[in-house]
Structure 1
Amino acid sequence: MTCPRTFSIMILHQELILLIGTSLLAREIFASTSCFSKHQISMYYFCNLTEIPLVPSDTVKFLLSFNNIKQVNANSFPLLEQLLLLEIGLQFTHSVTIGKAAFENLPNLQVLDLGANRHLYLDPDAFVSLSNLTVLRLFGNALGDYILQDNYFQDLISLEDLDLSSNRITSLRPHPLFYNLKSLKRVNLKYNWIQILCEGNLDSFQGKTSLIFSLNSNHLYYSSSVDWAKCGNPLRNINLDTLDVGSNGWHVDIVQNFSTAVEGTSITFLKLDHHIMGAGFGFVNIKDPDNSTFAGLARSGLRLLDISQGFIFSLNPGVFQKLTDLEWLNLYNNKINQIQKGAFFGLGKLNFLNLSYNLLGELYDFTFGGLHNVAIIDLQKNHIGAIRENSFKDLLRLKMVNLRDNAIKIIPSLPTLTTAYLGENKLVSVRYRTIAAMYLDLEKNRLENLGDLYILSQIPDIQYIFLKQNRFSYCVKPDNVMANSQLIYLDLGENMIKLVWDRNLCLDVFWELSKLQVLHLNNNYLTTLPQDIFRGLASLNRLNLASNLLFYLSPGVFPESLKNLNISGNQLLSPDPGVFMTLSILDITHNRYFCDCTLSNLLLWLNTTNTTLAGSQDDIYCVHPPAFAGVPLSLLLFDGCNEDEILKPLQFAVFIFTSVVLVMFITAVIVFIHLRGTCFVWYKKIKRILVDDLRQAPDASAYIYDAYLCYSRKDFEWVQNSLLKHLDSQYSDKNRFTLCFEERDFLPGEDHISNIRDAIWNSRKTICIVTRQFLKDGWCVEALNFAQSRYFCDLKDVLIVVVVGSLSQYQLMKYKPVRVFMQRSRYMRWPEDHQDIGWFLNNLSHQILTEKKVKKKSNVMELQSIATIS
């Protein structure tokens, strides 16, 4: 456990660090700001001043902190009769000296701040002539006992507030002339070194009333051995409004001895916070307060007692029984785990009890016995899981109980309340108990059944229900629901009500809430609103639907009484402005507006409506199309959108025409697919008629044959029927080509390889009919090699490959001559459908007549197609 002195020093250091940090931050803020005097205020922060500057005579406030002023004397200030506030705190020098009559030219000064100067040297007559001064701040000035023992404050007859905190005062014996400071109401001696205070030390304060006196964090009575009987009552004949002796490390014995010593002294508010009374959790050798600890305060008229932030583990019987006038008791942040029977006996006038941030686990029927007048009990941040049925039964004047952040699973009986805080517990259902609250907080629990709302809304006189951050996802409507609701405020935000309404459950949950004025349904994943969901809400004025997934609002979904609607953060694309006509305040920011002509009505309404739009106009922006993404609606114009009405007849005509053309085109495509062979025949006939049956004959001067047909002998019959009869001129006069093939044109007795070579070199093109038999025939493969050699010799693409049958590309690539060809040229495949043969033969004829020269450029072969049809 940290000793009180260390604890006090830690707090002092934290405050000094905060002060220094604040000054450094202020330096950054004001460094770039010129020092000025205007509007009767003279501001000179961080101006590197070493002397008091001249300011206008009508100055009312004069601020000189954060400079380098070392000395202030009688000649430092001109006559400033209107000056009321002077601040010369925290100078960046080692010391500041205040000379004799330094402020005599400031006769009406009311507030003087000299605080946070590291070493302040005061002349005994420094404050003469300041008869109107009411506030004097001398905190953090390293002042010693002399500041009180000498007559520094003799002329301060109007002084009300004296701050001497964070100095080096060790003994409290004020000068007798302190008695003349009749107006003094507050003396702050916090963070000094006063270790003992006995009778007679404060005689100069006798006769003063309503005095606020702070001796917080002084280590008072902690380390010194005190003879309490000899020390006497240090507060005799002093009437204290507030006495702050907290953070002095007082245990039970010191508190008891002090209470006995000051017996009979009038104290309205006693602060004993940050004490070390109590066993804590496990220190059984340290005493908790008992019925004698505060007994000495019985005749003090104590009305407020603060014993927060300590180690009290058990409230023993009658511990406060002598404090019969107590109205306010603060036990916040102790280690209270047990409240013994009769712990609050004698506190018949207590109005407020704070037991928050303790270790209570259960409330019994006797826990609050004796608190007949209590109105407010704060029990938040304990570990309360069980509450007996009659725990609050006899508290007839109880109006508010705070049970937030505990472990309650069942709503307790709360018969006389107006306000009940039960948020952040473990409630899973609402069992109807005796509750008479007007304000009921059930936020952050585990409620899942939306049907509980029917029960809660029938609590007599209920007006406010908070159900935010529960788990509403299904609904079982209870029987015998009666219309008896006075509800005016309902918060159902951050639940999962979408799951309820998507199954058409409890769609009448709001129908009987005729007096409801405010409804929160934000963050409920809603995509649509059932059409009659708000039926019966005749008084609804404000509705919050923010952060849902709504993309459409149907007309008439909101009640006519609605004036304030928050629908920000949804998925609205092009909302109908007619939905918003009755509203006075509307928030439609951060939606997903589709900025085309369908949004023109909303844009027109936004530009003409008197409805107040919440949020920034820049937050109402387009999301689609991408060209308008992020553009605020306020910058858009839709002047051309009215042309749609004019163009409607034309649009209809275009639609009909397009539909007819599309149907005809699809019909033609279907007919062509099924009769494409016939169509090709007719195409050829029409072409012959139109061009007078003129044929283009190949140039015979250069080659003997138009093409050499290379195939396997086993395929001759198929080649003859499929190609020769349709292409070779000797088979039919209608054919245009002179073809060379082995069975007719090879010279008998001639070497076969010579015949192949002659056929290739005397023909314009070589056509290889590649079948499975072709790939097995060595002569055919050799002919393919010869044809490719001519390709590289003449730089002409003279080879045409026609693949017949079900040969795959993988099977073709296994043969090197074919693979070499396929790497530089495309092959033709014999059609499987009979009606495509005519088209194929026409294409093959075109290939025979087309001469493709190969141009060598930068060692890369490029094909340049030059059509030369003889």
Structure 2
Amino acid sequence: MGHRWEEDKMKPTVGSKCCKFRTIFLLLTIVSFVGPVSGFALKTCRINQNSALCVKSKLKGVPRDIPSTVTFFDLSENRISRIQALDFSDFPVLIRLDLNRNNISQIDSGAFANLVSLQKLNLNNNKLVKLGENVFNGLSRLTELRLLSNHIKEVASTSFKPLTSLQILDISHNKLGSLEKIHLILQHLPHLQELIMKNNNLFTFRSWELTNSSLDLRVIDLSQNPITVFNITKDIFPNLTRFNIGGSSRKQQMIWDVRSSTFLSRVSVLDISGLQMALGDMKTLLQRVNSSLTSLRMNAMKYNLAKLINMSCTIPTLSSLQLKYNKLKTVGSDLFKLCVNVTELELTKSNIKVIDDNAFRSLRSLKILTLSSNKLMSVPAATRNLPALLELDLSNNNITSLQCHDFTNQTKLRQLNLYLNSIPDLKDCLFKDLTRLQVLKLQSSHIRKLNGAFKKYLPNLTQLNLYGNELTAIKGGQFKGLRSLQNLSLHENKIESLEKESFVGLTNLTRIQLQSNKITKKQLDKDVFNTLINLRRLDLENNNIKYESTLALSNPPFSKLSRLEELSINAQHFRMKHLLPRNFLQGLTNLLLFKVRNNQLVFLHKDTFQYTPKLQTLDISSNDLPDLPPELFFPIQNLKSLYISRASLHSLDIFIGANLTNLEFLQARVNLFSVIRKEAIKSLPALVYLDLQSNSFTCDCDNAWFLQWVKKDNYTQVFDAYNYTCNYPPVVEGTKLLDLDVRDCSVDTGFICFVSTTCTILCFMIATFTYDFMRWQLVYAYYLFMAWLLDTKHKNKQAPHQYDAFISYNTHDEPWVIRELLPKLEGEQGWKLCLHHRDFEPGKPIIDNITDGIYGSRKTICVISRRYLDSEWCSREIQAASFRLFDEQKDVLILVFLEEIPTYLLSPYHRMRKLLKRQTYLSWPQAGEHTEVFWEKLRKALKNKEDPDEDRFHLNLLEAP
């Protein structure tokens, strides 16, 4: 039977299938998405940029979990007793290593051999007794080595041989005892610039014991050695510029024997503090440096101080003279009469009570005068005779009052230190001549009143320290004369009263410290900061500022401080709970840091930070903030550091949706966290440091992802994670969180990916080969299944047949059906036939029409031709008829071949007839001219009973393959 659609698609031949033997394999790639945050934890240390900091960690050995990329490794103040060969085997870029204050008594051979980039090594304050032959192997780039305060007695001849680049060596406070051991060190150090060997029990210094050749040393420190003989017979220090030979507690005088006046002739800084030597030898010593000395230290001299001062001041190049710890008591008019070239004089801690008015008259070039930590009762009049003075230090004396004439003529003074005295009141005329003063330090001097001392004068003052006094109020205009002031320190006073114009005139002020006073909200409401338009830092910690509502303020206290970068209001003193007005920070458009720690805050309005879009550091720790909305952080997307410790937070889920993509540092100690969710961590993609100490962690599978994340050594450092403890369930309470075995909790993603990939590949291979070799069998099975489905609808129908035969043919064979078949079977023989163009029900699905036609007819006549075999709809019709043959076990199928068809063209579903009973195959070409026989056989086939068990009526058969 034909159809309304022409089917011209040709099936591939067997030959073409052989040529297209396909072995196609798809490359299946499984992509792993690695999140932007990975974690790692160090058991005892923390990483800060490229530095590993393990200070005071009670370590007994060098930790092995430090990243190899660090450039500074600080292991100071621990309990390490031995440096083993592999302790520093994997630090190729380490530049500084600090092992100060340990118990190191042994260093294995080659322990530093792999530190090829090391430049500075600190082994101070350990218990080394001997330096072995290979102790410094590999340190060819080391420039600074410190071995101070060990117990070193012996040095191997090749200990320092690898240190060819060493420039600074400090081996002070050891027990070398002789220059021969120093010689073993120096012979391998061609570039050494500084040699510090204080307190090494050296009793003699003879140049030939140290070396026979010139050294390139610039600095040598022999102080605190009981040297009794100093003998140089050869110019071994031609480039020496700094020489320290003082500081010994010996009672015996040292013999000075330097053979040539040219030896030590380049020394510019000389320290002979506490040195006991005959006056003649002392004069000889000073003559050796007569043409080069610029700085001389004679601290704690027991004898002949006045004569030594006169001798030293005859040196024309001397500019700096330090005389600390000398028991002068009184400074007479002639003590410094020869010091005309001195520009810096220090008399600290010399027990001075009285200074003659003319004591400094000859010091016309003096620029720096230090008289701190003495017993002066007032400002010495002698200081008024110093026209070139730039710095004057009178701190820590017994000065009780300041007079208007105390600083007369000090027009060039740049810095004045008066702190740690007892000066209750200042006078308004006190600083009238200090027109160039830049730094004034008056802290901790019991000042109670300013009395207008800063209203008129000090136009160039940039720094004023008034902290630690007893000020209670700052009246209006008190600082209006300080038009250049940049830094004002008023902390640790008792200030409780501020006025609107307290800081008027301070238009250039960039920093003001007001912490630890008694300032209240009432003072802020007076707009006291409105004139500080250039303020950068404001500290209001430890005051009494309190707000009870989040309602917006009509007059925010910082609305005019648009350039403020740092604001701190930590620890306000009150007992009740506290709130912040929603617009408390209004106007602070450039604020970078805000601290509101320990204020008993119970709520932060979501609009609190809408005025601070540039905020980078926020500290809201030690408050009661269990419910922080994510919206709170929306305006501060530039936040980099956040402190939320002791805030009663129950989880880190507040960050989910907060969009803090730039947050790098998070400290959240002592909260109520029990489970750390993956989503919370993933919401902070830039996080590099996380501190969750002292939280109540749950040790079960809920934290499995967090534990695995912590142990990865990639990006985020989880500080002290190895000491996190379990709080729940009770059976594991107190155990370490990272000791929890989570293998049963996690899914082996790798294994799943392997299995799924393998299955996918296998399925693809099976599908490929099946398509190549069995696709037509599958098509047949499909049609067979569809026929079975359609048959289900008709299986129970017992209606009589409507037609004698259903005619299945291709459109191209329709002329034969109309001219030959239809006239014979219907016209002459009287059979009723079902034809698609005549009997199909319009609007009904084609497949339903086909099925109804086949099951409504006693027989099905298939008119077979080559085009018929290529037709999809014809194939469906013959499959439906074949299924009826299988299902009803009736001989209902008649095949009429219109042309000779080769066996190989018969597809699998067309060969099914051979598997049945070989009957009712009619061939039109074989009929030839005897068509009457053909039609008679067809008539008998139509008339033949359908019972397959009855006698078969054999016709002319076409043998199928």
Normalised by the size of structure 2, how large is the TM-score? Answer: 0.55
Q: Corresponding residue for 1:335?
A: 422
Check the 8 A contact 1:325/1:347 in 2, yes or no: yes
SS in 2 for 1:120: coil
In the other structure, the counterpart of 1:631 is 736
Q: Partners of 2:634 and 2:713 in 1: how far apart?
A: 26
1:394/1:559 CA distance change after superposition, 3 Å:
farther
Shift of the 70–347 alpha-carbon distance from structure 1 to 2, 3 Å rule, reads: same
1:433 aligned residue: 528
Q: Partner amino acid for 2:518?
A: K
After TM superposition, the structure 1 = structure 2 runs for residues 441-456 of structure 1, keeping only pairs within 5 Å, are 441-449=539-547, 454-456=556-558
Task: Name the CA shift for 1:496/1:169 in 2 (closer, same or farther; >3 Å).
Answer: farther
In the TM superposition, 1:547-558 aligns within 5 A as 547-552=646-651, 553-554=653-654, 556=656, 558=658
Cα distance in 2, alignment partners of residues 576 and 73 from structure 1:
62
CA contact (8 A) 2:313 2:338 kept: no
Matched, 1:571 2:667: no
Residue 348 of structure 1: CA displacement? 0.9
Question: One-letter code of the match for 2:619?
Answer: H
SS at match of 1:490: strand
The one-letter amino acid paired with 1:424 is S
Cα distance change of structure 1 residues 547 and 62 upon mapping to structure 2, 3 Å threshold: closer
* In the alignment, structure 1 residue 36 sits paired with structure 2 residue 139: no
1:244 aligned onto 2:311: no
Aligned residue pairs, count: 592
Partner Cα separation in structure 2 for residue 489 and residue 289 of structure 1: 42
- What amino acid is aligned across from residue 311 of structure 2 in structure 1? L
- Cα offset for 1:190? 0.8
Q: Does 586-595 or 145-154 show the bigger shift?
A: 145-154
Shift of 1:507: 4.7
Distance (Å, rounded) in 1 between the aligned partners of 2:233 and 2:303:
25
Identity of aligned residues (%): 19
User: For residues 797-828 of structure 1, what are the alpha-carbon distances to aligned partners after superposition, in whole Å with 9 as ceiling and x for unaligned?
Assistant: xxxxxxxxxxxxxxxxxxxxxxxxxxxxxxxx
**Structure with a larger share of its residues in helix:** 1
Asked if the contact 1:144–1:168 (Cα under 8 Å) also holds between the matched residues in 2, the reply is yes
User: CA offset at residue 263 of structure 1?
Assistant: 4.0
Is the 1:247–1:273 Cα contact (8 Å) retained in structure 2?
yes
Q: Per-residue displacement from partner, 1:507-559 (whole Å, max 9, x unpaired)?
A: 53223222222111111132221453334224333221122221133464634
Is the partner of 1:259 in helix, strand or coil?
Answer: coil
Paired AA for residue 345 in structure 1: K
Judged with a 3 Å threshold, the aligned counterparts in structure 2 of structure 1 residues 144 and 181 are, in CA distance, closer, same or farther, namely farther
Tell me the TM-score normalised to structure 1 length.
0.60
CA displacement at 1:313 relative to structure 2: 1.2
- State the partner residue of 2:467: 380
Number of the residue aligned with 1:724:
none
Q: 1:163 aligns with which of 266, 271, 287?
A: 271
Q: What CA distance in whole angstroms lies between the structure 1 residues aligned with 2:487 and 2:393?
A: 20
Correspondent of 1:140 among 247, 270, 278: 247
User: Which range is displaced more, 35-44 or 322-331?
Assistant: 35-44
Alignment of 1:208 onto 2:317: yes
User: Hey, what's the Cα distance between the residues in 1 that align with 2:149 and 2:618?
Assistant: 50
Name whichever of 350-359 and 71-80 sits farther off. 71-80
Q: What is the DSSP-based 3-state SS (H/G/I as helix, E as strand, rest coil) of the residue aligned with 2:557?
A: helix
Question: What residue number does 2:199 align with?
Answer: 90
How far apart in 2 are the matches of 1:44 and 1:250?
35
Structure 1's 623 and 100: CA in aligned 2 closer, same or farther, altered over 3 A? closer
**How does 1:284-299 map onto structure 2 within 5 Å?**
288-289=378-379, 292-298=381-387
Pairwise CA distance, 1:157: 2.3
For 2:182 and 2:127, locate their aligned partners in 1 and report how far apart those are by CA, in whole Å: 30
Displacement of 1:70 after TM fit? 6.0
Aligned to 2:568: 466
| 1:272 aligned to which of 349, 371, 376 | 371
Given residue 742 of structure 2, which amino acid in structure 1 is its aligned partner?
L
What CA distance in whole angstroms lies between the structure 1 residues aligned with 2:717 and 2:101?
41
Residues 254-273 of structure 1 mapped to structure 2, 5 A cutoff = 254=356, 256-260=357-361, 262-264=362-364, 266-273=365-372
Cα shift readout 1:469-505 (whole Å, capped 9, x = no counterpart): 124733474999965632221001122112x45xxxx
3-state DSSP class of the match of 2:283?
Answer: coil
SS in 2 for 1:362: coil
CA offset digits 1:808-857 (Å, max 9, x no partner): xxxxxxxxxxxxxxxxxxxxxxxxxxxxxxxxxxxxxxxxxxxxxxxxxx
1:480 and 1:76 mapped to 2: Cα distance?
69
Deviation at 1:215, TM superposition (A): 1.0
- Change in 2 beyond 3 A, CA 1:577/1:364: farther
TM superposition shift of 1:602: 4.0
Tell me the residue number matched to 2:633. 534
Q: 1:795 maps to which residue?
A: none
d(CA) in 1 for partners of 2:205 and 2:700?
75
What is the 5 A alignment of 1:6-25? Answer: none
> Is the 2:644–2:667 contact (alpha carbons within 8 Å) kept by the matching residues of 1?
yes
> Contact 2:699–2:737 at 8 Å: present in 1 too?
no
1:245-283 CA-to-partner distances (Å, cap 9, x unmatched) read 2222333533x33122x242x2222111112221xxxxx
Alignment CA distance shift 1:151-1:274 (3 Å)? farther
Cα distance change on mapping 1:206 and 1:559 into 2, 3 Å: same
- Contact 1:535–1:559 at 8 Å: present in 2 too? yes
Change (3 A) 1:55 1:134: farther
606-615 or 423-432: bigger deviation: 606-615
Shift, 1:369, TM fit: 3.8
- 1:305 pairs with one of 392, 403, 413: 392
Paired residue for 2:222? 114
Q: Look up the SS of the partner of 2:703 in the other structure.
A: helix
Question: Once the 2 structures are TM-superposed, how far is the Cα of residue 366 of structure 1 from its aligned partner?
Answer: 3.1
Evaluate the alpha carbon distance shift between residue 25 and residue 73 of structure 1 in structure 2; reply closer, same or farther with a 3 A threshold.
closer
Once the two structures are TM-superposed, the CA of residue 316 in structure 1 deviates from its matched residue by 0.7
User: Closer, same or farther in 2 for the Cα pair 1:639/1:71, shift >3 Å?
Assistant: closer
- Specify the alignment match of 2:940 in structure 1: none
Q: Give the direction of change, closer, same or farther, for the CA distance of 1:44–1:483 in structure 2 (3 Å limit).
A: closer
Q: Tell me if structure 2 keeps the 8 A contact 1:471–1:496.
A: no
Corresponding residue number in structure 2 for 1:592: 696
Over residues 334-384 of structure 1, what are the superposed CA-to-partner deviations in whole Å (9 max), with x where a residue is unaligned? 112222221112111111111111110122323464211000001111111
1:192-225, Cα deviation, whole Å (9 max, x unpaired): 125653799236754316x3321112223x369x
Separation in 2 of the partners of 1:88 and 1:149?
20
1:178 aligns with 2:276: no
- Measure, in 1, the Cα distance between the counterparts of 2:497 and 2:264: 62
Q: 8 Å contact 1:491–1:519 — kept in the other structure?
A: yes
Find the residue that maps to 2:360 and give its secondary structure: helix
Tell me how far apart the structure 1 counterparts of residues 278 and 458 of structure 2 sit (CA, whole Å). Answer: 42
- The residue identity in structure 2 corresponding to 1:550 is L
| 1:522 paired residue number | 621
Q: 5 Å matches for 1:414-813?
A: 414=503, 415-416=506-507, 417-429=509-521, 430-431=524-525, 432-434=527-529, 435-436=531-532, 437-449=535-547, 454-456=556-558, 458-471=560-573, 473-475=577-579, 477=581, 483=587, 485-498=589-602, 500=603, 506-552=605-651, 553-554=653-654, 556=656, 558-564=658-664, 565-583=666-684, 584-585=686-687, 586-590=689-693, 591-603=695-707, 612-629=716-733, 630-633=735-738, 636-637=741-742, 639-640=744-745
Paired residue type of 1:446: N
CA RMSD of aligned residues (A): 4.1
Q: Which moved more, 1:56-65 or 1:157-166?
A: 56-65
Query: Relative contact order, CA 8 A, sep 6+: which one is greater?
Result: 2
Q: Residue deviations 1:754-798, cap 9 Å, x none?
A: xxxxxxxxxxxxxxxxxxxxxxxxxxxxxxxxxxxxxxxxxxxxx
Q: Which amino acid aligns with 2:419?
A: Y
Give the match's secondary structure for 1:349: coil
CA-CA distance at 1:134 after TM superposition: 2.7
Tell me if the contact between 1:79 and 1:106 (Cα under 8 Å) persists in the aligned partners.
no
Q: Alignment partner of 2:722: what SS?
A: helix
Q: What is the SS of the residue equivalent to 1:338? A: coil
